[in-house]
Structure 1
């Protein structure tokens, strides 16, 4: 926590006070650390009650006797942001091990000795007197930061402008992120190193070089605010950082409200587009107003809950509509890759199309692709990426004749017996004829799948071990998908 000597009190400044007669035992590299307070503590672990930048003074009662204990004690204090450890000469100080002073040297943590003739209160008084000017500056910064909401209302600042002004007043470089490290508010950067994020909202706020505090909203912890001291600035302290976190929480609530309003409006527009009741020109205007002006694609997303899906969608302009277990998403084509990265997802994406175009074709394409994604275990299938379909004719009558010729008996058997011979065979083909993987996807025993494959072969009259028969069955299944005869290719 390097400091600017002209702006704040440092450990080195304390050494220059003749009345204190302090001596450096180890950790001289950390003499530039800033000091905000000096306090006596005989606790082996005082860190839950520290804010950072304190000089901790002890008569030695707090110092463990073992080498490992002494090293751990010093490391705890340093991790909590303590500026220096001051130990009274003689009194109750146990023998100091080499591991103790070595840790101070490694971490640049000043280890000071206070002469027996100098009372701890003298050190505390010198620190208090020296930081009075800094305290007045902090109070002024607090009063100005408390006016942040007034600026927001009266000057119409956007989020980025608001937080840049808060940075100038507070003396901190401000970062915001979700608990997973993703951006929390537009225009405010995430921390450069996610390792600084606390493990929980109850963790101590002090981190090396600043503070990390939770951003609490009615729905829970929205994320964390990380504030690093700016070089040459005069940081205003934890109280100001906590108030900035409150401003961030209010901003998050406002952004969420705006997003929910847009999401409801977008769902209504997408429903009208899917019903094909909007004039193309009207559709283009509405999509443009919602920032969907370029080429778009329609996705059908399955297998993922809204709590996981929405944060990803919010990073792109999009429309979202829920229909049963399906989530219809209209947005830029690159949204497909972001959705595909979600765990457990099965998504199908249509071919890209100009905004305002009818979604009838895109809906069939995305539904078919989503069913292919489910059947193959892939997170994302783009319609048209599977070249098998190019070998099929476009004429529905021809497709129907192929399905009847190859799969007719199987389809009738499945319908009469509520069986799943066709689904089982298609899943087995999608898994590249790996029986164990296909059985796991179907949640059945491999022996059950083997029986179903034999039954399919008997009804269809096709030996699936023969290349010609396998190809014919595969093309017929694709034709049945396009005609919506498999139960997965049509609209739900």
Structure 2
């Protein structure tokens, strides 16, 4: 839009007081109303400045005002003559500075001019901004996986189009925002509507939801956009802008996803070593490389979807906990730092967030198990077993999102108490029968050894010390138990069965 377009608007009836033909070709980017004697701090260039000349007390004021506008590189000045005509000193100051000066008739309100110019500028702004966002997308694609750029981009949209917008996670957390305040209740409603699978864009309580991820991707691991206002009245250029912004954010999300994937092999290796016979000293360097210093407090979270999809379970934990997540036997495993009271706060937030995500799981159930807090590599194996066992118990709960913490583990006795006596006796015999028979026939102590091994969370050195045995002797006994039962004490399912059978003494 140019100054000439304003003059050609028949609804405004403005005319030129100062300005050559060439000056009227200046591009117009915005409009500003001011009566400050020096408005430079509020000008960015390209404005049509509307003024009622309240600032003027004498000729010197006109010169100072025009000099400030010229320094700010405005497109032109429009003065109203509602109370008095445009003074000669202002006309001369504009002519001397080469600044176009327009006259606003007394019967035309500044608000009318502002509205008509902004309406005309909006498509142009959207086109320019969409092109800028398209260029920015290529820049983001070449950058690292951080989130800092998001606020900058949203602020760009707010500043150019006066359109508030925000990026929300599927749990309803604000990832970034500019000019859009959302209450907790509003965020929860928006997240529910997004997870419910509504066709996007959609209007919810006067705000517009806009998708970022692929239309067929699971929404429980995808962010979404929220714009202030109803998209029903959007022009084609505004939809184009929203689409370009969504594409830009999707590019950034891919970068962040790739950055997370770079940490996954290390997490997988740590968990693999935990389940093997590994000296804690071998684990510690890898834990430190993963950002878990020696003897640091941490806890383990295990999650599984009832219909498989270990990769999706991993994505959910990565999104909610912001840590590298491993996959073990179809379960997602996260090791989470837990200094001070942080564990309690993290677990509470995790409970709330997973409950929010429930609408996005379709027919599947999310099963979550959480261990107690431990210190360093020496106790991490026990925490892993605890969290995996808790995850198994979650399957017994009749909830879309079933959550079991380490404090709940003692409730297995309550579950067993509800099982008929003959079924409990049969289960114990099926699991432990060969070992019990072997001990009775040979005067061995395999059952006490098995019990001590489980209490020690599979730690060879800790168990051998408790039994006052050499580690090789302990290894022989455990191997004998596995041979007799056909089970593998390295597998969590078999450990749980042994644990429950021993509880039925």
User: Which structure shows the higher helix fraction?
Assistant: 2
TM-score, length-normalised on structure 2? 0.44
